[in-house]
Chains A and B, each alone.
Chain A
Amino acid sequence: MSAAAPQEHQQPAPLLRRVLLQGKYEALTMLRNGEQLILAVVLPLLALVGLTVTPFLDGMGSSRVNVAVPGILALCAMSTAFTGQGIATGFDRRYGVLRFLSTTPLGRGGLIAGKVLSVLAVLCLQVVVVGLVALALGWQPTAAGWLPGLGLLALGAAAFTSLGLLVAGTVRPEATLAITNLLWILLGAMGGIVIPAERLPAAAQAVIHFLPSGALGESMRAAFLGGAVNGGAALILLLWTVIAGAAAIRWFKWN
C-alpha cells in the first residue's frame, strides 16, 4: 500500500473520540497561553486574597473567606467561558481555523462541543486550585452546598460560553478582546459576582439581579453559604443561556 493512494471510504473517528480530542486540544491550548492563565487563575486568586484581608464582606456570613469563595468560583467561570473562550474563538475565526476544522470530520457541531468541554475541563482545574487556596485561608464550605453549587457553576459556564461565542462570532477579534475584557472588569467589580448586590449602590441592585453575573454570584452564595438553591437566579441563568445560545446560532459568522 502506498500512503499516497487515497483511502477508499475513509471513516471518521467515532463522535465521542472526536469531541474529546478537540476538548483536550483546546484546553491544553488555553492552559499554555500566559494571558489566559493570568485571567483564569492569577486574578481570581488575587481577588480571593484581597476579599479575605479587607472588610468589604464583613457581616454577610460566618467568615470573610466563606462569603468570598462562591463569588470567586463564579468569577472563574466568567474568566474561562466568556473572556478566555471568546477571545480564543474570535482569533480562530480570524485565522480561518473554524472554517478549516469544520471541513474535517469534527464539523461545526463537534467544534462547539469541544469548546464547551474545554471550558468545563479548565473550570474543574480552577475549582481545585481556588478550593485548595481557600481551604488554606480557612474556608469551611457547607457540605450540602457542593451539589447545587457545582451544578449552578456549570449552568453559569454555559450561559457565559453562549455569550462569549455570540460576541466572538459577530464582531472583529480585536473588538471581542476589548468587549470581553472590559465586561470582565465591569461585571467582576460591579456585576454582583464577587461583591454581593447588597453592598453595591441601591440604584444598581435591580439591574444586577437580572445580569448573568449577579444571578450566578447570588446562586453560588446561596448554595455554598446555606445549601440552598436560588430558583429565581437559576432561572435567569437558564434564560441567558437559551437566549444567547439561540442568538449565537442565528448570527455566528464562520468567516
Chain B
Amino acid sequence: MVRSPKSPVLSINGLIKDVGPLSNLDGKMLRVVSGVSLIAERGEVTALLGANGAGKTTTLECAQGLQKRSGGSISLLGQDPAAAGSGLRARVGVMLQDGGLPPSARPLPLLRHIAGLYADPWPLEDLVGRLGIDTFSRTSVRRLSGGQKQRLALAAALIGRPEVLFLDEPSAGLDPQSRQLVFDLIAELRDGGMGIILTTHLMDDAQRLADYVYIIDGGRNVAEGTVQELLQRSPVADPGAEHVRTLVFEAPAGLDVAAVLPAGVDVSEARAGSYTVTGTLTPRHLAALAQWWEAKGIMPASMSLQARSLEDVFLDISGKDIR
C-alpha cells in the first residue's frame, strides 16, 4: 500500500533520529526513529498510531522543527522545517503533548498575546466561544482541569488559522463532552481544507477521526491505510477477508474450541474460561459451536460478537507484549 500524493502538506521520507549518549539512561547512541515515511494531505486527518515510545512524538517534533533529524528528508508546505523561518511557522499550528502553557498565565491574555504574533489571527472571541474557553478565561492555567488545558492548548495552536495543524495526543484528559466538542471542531477544520496530523495511542480516536492511518512501531512504519483498509486486514492466512469478526465467550476452562470449528479462524483462551475466536466467521462457525455446546451441555456465561476494531488490527501488527 503506497499512497500517491495529491496535495500534501507534509511528506516525510526515511526519517532517522538518533538520541545522543547524554540524553538516555544507558549512555549509548539510541536510534528512536529508524526510517519513518509518511504523507499528510490537505483537507484530511492523518493519524500516527502507536504504543507509548513508538517514535510518534519524535517524528512529529522533527516535522515541527523542534528536533534536528539525523537522516531522511522532511517537506512541510514545501519547506525544510529544520531551516524554517517565521514565515513557515506562521502557517503551522502546534499542540504539544505537555501543553506548553505557563501555569501562572490566564487563558484570555495568553491567547491575545499569541494572536498578536500573527498578521491575521482567528478572531479571539469566536475561537474562545467555540472551544468553551469563555467560561474560564480569567482562571490561571494551573487551576484548570485537564480537559480545559487541552482546549486552551488547541486554541493556542489554532489562533493563527494555520494550513497545517499538529496535534500530539489531542484527547488526553478530555471528558466526553470536551471530546465531542474538540472532535467536531477538528472535523470542521478538516472540511475547511486544513491538513491535520495527529498522534494517538487510542484506537478509538483514530477510528473516529482519521482519513488515513500510519501505524508506527519501534521507530518504523508497520502498516498504513484508510481505517477501512486496515480493518480488512485479516490476522489469519486469508488476505482477502472482508468480514472479520471477533467472538468472545465465557465457558468452563480448558475446552478444545479450535477442534470443533472449521479451519481458518484463530482461537485463544486469554484467561481461563474466556475464549476469543477471530477470523472470517460464518453462520457455519456459529452453528458448529452451538451444536457442540448442546451435545456437551455447555451454556456460556456470556458471549459477544463484534466486528474487528482498529485496536485488534493494532495488536495483531505490533504484538501483545507490554513494553
B interface residues, Cβ below 8 angstroms from A: 64-66, 85-87, 89-92, 94, 96, 98-105, 113-114, 116-120, 122-123, 126-127, 130, 156, 160-163, 185, 188-189, 192-194
Contact = CB atoms under 8 A, between A and B. Distances in A.
B94 A100 contact: yes
A109 to B, nearest CB: 9
Given A15-B86, A101-B100, A6 B162 contact: yes
Contacts of A17: 116
Interface of A: 2-13, 15, 17-18, 21-22, 25, 29, 32-33, 91-92, 95-97, 99-107, 110, 254-255
21 contacts: A4-B192, A5-B193, A6-B161, A7-B120, A11-B118, A12-B87, A15-B86, A18-B86, A22-B113, A29-B102, A29-B105, A91-B102, A95-B100, A97-B101, A100-B96, A100-B99, A100-B156, A104-B160, A105-B86, A106-B86, A254-B66
B59 to A, nearest CB: 15
Given A12-B87, A13-B118, A100-B156, 15 more contacts: A4-B189, A4-B192, A6-B192, A7-B120, A7-B161, A10-B90, A10-B120, A11-B120, A22-B113, A32-B104, A33-B104, A100-B100, A103-B92, A103-B96, A110-B86
A6 B66 contact: no
A12 B96 contact: no
Contacts of A97: 100-102
Q: Which of A13, A32, A92 has the most CB of B within 10 A?
A: A13
B66 A103 contact: yes
Contacts of A99: 66, 96, 100
B126 A3 contact: yes
Q: Which of B64, B102, B104, B114 has the most CB of A within 10 A?
A: B102
Contacts of B193: 5-6
Contacts of A4: 130, 185, 188-189, 192
Contact of B64 (A5, A8, A95, A103): A103
Given A12-B86, A12-B89, A13-B117, A103 B123 contact: no
B182 to A, nearest CB: 13
A105 B118 contact: yes
A12 B113 contact: no
Interchain residue pairs A-B with the least CB separation, the first 6: A100-B100, A96-B100, A7-B161, A5-B192, A11-B119, A103-B94
A25 B111 CA distance: 11
B90 A12 contact: yes
Contact of B117 (A3, A21, A95): A21
